[in-house]
Amino acid sequence: MNAAERQFHEEWVAEVEALGPAIKGSLTQFRRRCGKRGCKKCASGEGHLTWQLSYYVGGVHKNCHVGPGQLEAVRRALANGKALEQAMSANGFKLVKLLKGKEV
């Protein structure tokens, strides 16, 4: 790795570090049944509003429940994941220019 490539890499690491936690997936809200006997919300058909994070790991679809206390952090991490993907796309052009010995 030459000096220009090292600088490019260090700038990338700083950019990723500044973003914070980054994830890829989708957040959906739906109503579920809790399964508890005598639950008035389930008996009325209202159910319980819940959030779920869906994502893929090695091509396998997975889900996990997201509690109200985790919702904002998960939304931020999803936004960071999108920003990271955009930054990675932009980096391809920058890297090729750098490898050709041009200013980035």
CB of 20 to Zn ion, least distance (A): 35
Q: Token pair of 11, please?
A: 């700038």
Q: How far is CA 20 from CA 37, 44, 50, 77, 80, in A?
A: 42, 42, 25, 7, 7
H or E, element range at 65: strand 60-66
Strands of the sheet containing 60-66, edge to edge, are 26-32, 48-57, 60-66
User: Looking at beta carbons only, is 41 or 94 nearer to Zn ion?
Assistant: 41
* Ranges within 74-103 binding Zn ion (CB under 5 A): none
Task: Mark residues 19-58: x for contact with Zn ion by CB under 5 A, - for none.
Answer: ---------------x----x-xx----------------
CB of 64 to Zn ion, least distance (A): 20
CB of 38 to Zn ion, least distance (A): 9
User: What does the binding site for Zn ion look like in residue numbers (CB under 5 A)?
Assistant: 34, 39, 41-42
